[in-house]
Amino acid sequence: MARAGAPRSPGPEPPRRRGRQRYVEKDGRCNVQQGNVREPGRYLTDLFTTLADLQWRLSLLFFVLAYALTWLFFGAIWWLVAYGRGDLEHLGDAAWTPCVNNLNGFVAAFLFSIETETTIGYGHRVITDQCPEGIALLLLQAILGSMVNAFMVGCMFVKISQPNKRAATLVFSSHAVVSLRDGRLCLMFRVGDLRSSHIVEASIRAKLIRSRQTLEGEFIPLHQTDLSVGFDTGDDRLFLVSPLVISHEIDAASPFWEASRRALERDDFEIVVILEGMVEATGMTCQARSSYLVDEVLWGHRFTSVLTLEDGFYEVDYASFHQTFEVPTPSCSARELAEAAARLDAHLYWSVPSRLDEKTTSNPTEVSHIMGTTTKTWSSERHAQRLDG
């Protein structure tokens, strides 16, 4: 058995119980796939978001195809205009005024389409003023080309600057812990930011995911329950400059109120934690997620400190970010611990006056001795009760 206070490194983990599939992976990826979508046309109504959500190889493919197909389409139309006017039959005829000078085939029409849409303007091929249909086509291609350019460049910009890349430098502890804090059982985990630029207006949430059956017999496989991490007190608003330990106090409103250490180990649940905020450099909203299964919740542990004071600054040692150490923690539930504390408080409340009533003396020194002895006895009993669990 490891001694109390010894650091616990995140080394080889015990074999994980089988039977639960993660709802959210440790890296924040959600294990949910949409199947049998009957209305795929809904994706086309928001084409910009659809293209931004695609994988990189598909985004690059659409980017290339959007330009290539546009150039080919208008190149074919320029060739048809030249063919329909007879320009291809009067090549080299100085008396003939073509629609586009020096357009002698489909390749030349394709190159002229590229020059028109990208506004390169080499000057070798140029439209003449004797072709009204060509002038109309030139205006149409210039307008549509600008729209395609704005759409695709916007998609690539959003793709490059997606905030999930910023979330990769927001880290969560590999384990959550349960231990006493200010005499109350708390479920805790740690979050940190690896970058020097901060997350503005950062906030933290926690969800308990487990199966539930209603009184009517309805089975809910992934029921979500909020775990309070300081919403009422404002502690969920984080100033994430250094790693912080987020605490969920197990009180009467907590779903773990009646869970002892043994009951918690037999339970089957997942705790999903969500950190949100704005990226300081871009102002875009960023969200980082992680989760903890039953085997990743350590009862009777506390996180190792990672913050030290150096010469004029604080230093964070991320080598100890995931480390924990054992501390004396009762194995009973938070409800049983609160009831035991209430009984001890009631015992102290009634025992002191009764002992004082038994004394006929009014010596202040003796009264103080009685109070001190009773308080010392009550403190010893309460400490033993905590250790015994």
Around Cβ 306, how many Cβ atoms within 10 Å?
19
Q: Which residue(s) pair with 275 in the sheet?
A: 204, 288
Radius of gyration of the chain (CA): 35
DSSP class of residue 242?
Answer: S
Q: Is residue 65 part of a domain?
A: yes
Both tokens of 225, joined, read: 């329950």
pLDDT at residue 231, rounded to an integer: 87
| Claim to verify: residue 149 and residue 111 sit in the same structural domain | yes
| Nearest alpha-carbon partner for 232 in 257, 210, 251 | 251
**Domain boundary, last residue among 106, 135, 160:** 160
pLDDT, averaged in runs of 10, over the chain (389 residues): 49 50 85 75 76 86 93 95 89 88 92 90 87 93 92 86 79 95 93 88 93 89 91 90 94 92 91 91 86 94 92 90 94 90 74 51 45 43 46
Question: Which residues have CB under 8 Å from 124's CB, separation 6+?
Answer: 102
Q: Is residue 12 part of a domain?
A: no
Q: Where on the phi/psi map is residue 78: left (φ > 0), alpha (ψ -120 to 50), or beta?
A: alpha
**Nearest 10 degrees: CA dihedral of 288, 33, 210, 295?**
-60
Rounded CA gap, 125 and 116, in Å?
A: 10
| Whether 267 contacts 294, CB under 8 Å | yes
- Token pair 């009762």 is at which residue? 330
Q: Is residue 91 part of a domain?
A: yes
pLDDT at residue 19, rounded to an integer: 54
| Claim to verify: residue 311 and residue 172 sit in the same structural domain | yes
Q: Is residue 148 part of a domain?
A: yes
- Distance between first and last Cα of the chain: 18
| Claim to verify: residue 185 and residue 319 sit in the same structural domain | yes
| Claim to verify: residue 181 and residue 99 sit in the same structural domain | no
| Whether 133 contacts 100, CB under 8 Å | no
| Claim to verify: residue 106 and residue 125 sit in the same structural domain | yes
**Domain boundary, last residue among 280, 300, 326:** 326
Q: Is residue 41 part of a domain?
A: no
Number of domains comprising the chain: 3
3-state secondary structure 83-143: HHHCHHHCCCCCCCCCCECCCCCHHHHHHHHHHHHHCCCCCCCCECCCCHHHHHHHHHHHH
pLDDT at residue 351, rounded to an integer: 62
Q: Is residue 118 part of a domain?
A: yes
| Whether 325 contacts 302, CB under 8 Å | yes
pLDDT at residue 350, rounded to an integer: 63
pLDDT at residue 292, rounded to an integer: 95
Q: Give me the count of residues in the chain.
A: 389
Nearest 5°: the CA angle 369, 370, 373 is 85
| Claim to verify: residue 177 and residue 283 sit in the same structural domain | yes
| Claim to verify: residue 59 and residue 204 sit in the same structural domain | no
Both tokens of 78, joined, read: 């320029």
pLDDT at residue 37, rounded to an integer: 73
| Whether 274 contacts 283, CB under 8 Å | no
| Whether 178 contacts 294, CB under 8 Å | no
Nearest 5°: the CA angle 18, 24, 27 is 105
| Claim to verify: residue 181 and residue 247 sit in the same structural domain | yes
Q: Is residue 289 part of a domain?
A: yes
Q: What is the CATH number of the domain that holds 138?
A: 1.10.287.70
| Residue 369: alpha-carbon gap to chain centroid | 58
| Claim to verify: residue 214 and residue 321 sit in the same structural domain | yes
Task: Sort strands 176-181 and 297-299 into parallel, antiparallel or unpaired.
Answer: parallel
Q: Is residue 13 part of a domain?
A: no
Rounded CA gap, 12 and 198, in Å?
A: 33
| Claim to verify: residue 130 and residue 201 sit in the same structural domain | no
Q: What is the CATH number of the domain that holds 287?
A: 2.60.40.1400
DSSP class of residue 168?
Answer: T
| Claim to verify: residue 120 and residue 206 sit in the same structural domain | no
Owning domain of residue 346: 334-388
- Token pair 């320009």 is at which residue? 87
| Whether 23 contacts 272, CB under 8 Å | yes
| Claim to verify: residue 265 and residue 138 sit in the same structural domain | no
| Nearest alpha-carbon partner for 273 in 206, 225, 176 | 206
**Domain boundary, last residue among 105, 129, 160:** 160
pLDDT at residue 367, rounded to an integer: 40
